[in-house]
Amino acid sequence: MEFMELLWAYLVVFVLAAVPFFEGYGVIALAIIAGLPAVPSILIALFGNILTVLLLILFVNKIKEWRRKRKGEGEEKNPSKRALRAQSLWKKYGLPGLAFIGPLFVGSHLTAFMSLSFGGTKKKTSIWMVASIVVWGLVFAVLSHFGVDILGYEDKGFFKDLIEKN
């Protein structure tokens, strides 16, 4: 792969990992399956996901204010099933439990937002969310690496095969 192609691929990895609901761990798996070098892909995806989660935590008060204005001041709606599940996790396992379980079900951005809404401090939420993102990223990287290796795509990615045939 030439330098510009690799640069574009890493830019896509970063942007996709930064987008809410398109989690870093999912992007890591896609990058490895696509045949990108694992270590840079993992680092770039983790950085993209962590950066946007930390920005959300930093600006959570502005985001809450924006949501309140968007919904209307007096309108209170019933919490969603996701919110109820997150609140249940919060009550049962606290911030660490929500931070580690939440990203698999609702995404890291929404998990961070809910953690702060349920009473977590910015500092503790940041620490637990970064730890969670790193752990899940590494777990999915290892699973993807060995899964791809088992399929015999060690030196060439699945997507490269598709592109080369066309």
Give residue 151's pLDDT band: very low, low, confident or very high (50, 70, 90). low
pLDDT reported for residue 153: 55
pLDDT reported for residue 21: 82
Whether 100 contacts 25, CB under 8 Å: no
Question: Does 156 or 124 have the greater pLDDT score?
Answer: 124
Tokens 């049962």 found at: 92
Domain boundaries, the chain: 3-68+81-165
pLDDT reported for residue 149: 58
Beta carbons within 8 Å of 93's beta carbon, 6+ residues apart: 101
Per-residue pLDDT tens over the stretch 23-72: 999 999 999 988 899 999 999 999 999 999 999 999 988 887 887 788 77
pLDDT reported for residue 49: 97
